[in-house]
Amino acid sequence: MSTVISREQAAENARRVLDRARARRDALPIREAAEQAAVGSFQSADEIELTLRRLRRAARAERPVAPLAPAVRAA
């Protein structure tokens, strides 16, 4: 028996699954992620590792810095 769900619910379910997959992927050490990504790829694990490191550095550089708390600024 199949259940019909709304388009919005289907999109929400898909977002939830993708968010969990991204969290698992981002929790992996870079080398392990590169080795997994290299399976069936034309790139080597070393090439993928370099790309991942470059992307993570760029993401850190673009991340906004949180403003200091008022107590820290007063010190």
- pLDDT tens profile 25-65: 888 999 999 999 899 999 999 999 999 999 989 988 887 76
Angle between helices 30-38 and 45-62 (to 10 degrees): 130
Beta-strand (E) ranges in the chain? Answer: none
pLDDT at 11: 95
pLDDT at 71: 61
The two three-digit tokens of residue 2, written as one number:
């199949």
Check pLDDT > 80 for residue 67: no
* CA dihedral sign of residues 22, 27, 30, 36: negative
Quote the domain boundaries for residue 59: 7-63
**Do the domain assignments include residue 73?**
no
Backbone φ and ψ of 57, nearest 5°:
-65, -45
Domain count, the chain: 1
Check pLDDT > 60 for residue 74: no
**Do the domain assignments include residue 28?**
yes
pLDDT at 64: 73
Check pLDDT > 80 for residue 1: no
